[in-house]
Amino acid sequence: MSTYKAPDPVAVLRDFVARVAPYDPEPQAEPVGTVEVRSAGDAGTIPLTPHLARALAEALAGYRDRADRGTCASCGGRRLDENLHCLDCGRLHGVLGQVIAHQAEQVRLRYPTGPADAATGSADGPL
């Protein structure tokens, strides 16, 4: 089993600045702020020009977590698994959820007394 190794935040920020800074129309502009980042063996303070601040804000605003699958229409929770099953209330979402819910409702209507009828097919004959 492999262990997730987090990227070095100082190196990540420096790389971001290196990719964005060449396109700064006013690289000598007065900084609008600074970002200070520390990691186990490194630290960095980056002055943010208006261009870098905007680029950082846009990058952060555009980020979507890989695990983000929206919100549950039933309870509003944000913990939907890869099958769009809400881990908070149990509801299934998406096309898969609609198909399963529809099929379950059809079985419920066809066999109103429960699983015994479904197993024997007694409501309308064999399955």
Cα of first residue to Cα of last residue in the chain, in angstroms, is 44
- Inform me whether the pLDDT recorded for 28 exceeds 90: yes
pLDDT (tens digit, 9 = 90+) per residue, 36-59?
Answer: 999 888 898 999 999 999 999 999
Give CA–CA dist 98/95, Å, rounded.
5
- Inform me whether the pLDDT recorded for 127 exceeds 70: no
Domain boundaries, the chain: 9-62, 68-121
Average pLDDT over residues 4-23: 92
**Nearest-CA neighbor of 16 among 42, 41, 53, 50?**
53
Give CA–CA dist 29/36, Å, rounded.
19
Helical residues (DSSP H) of 1-127, grouped into ranges: 9-20, 50-62, 94-110, 115-120
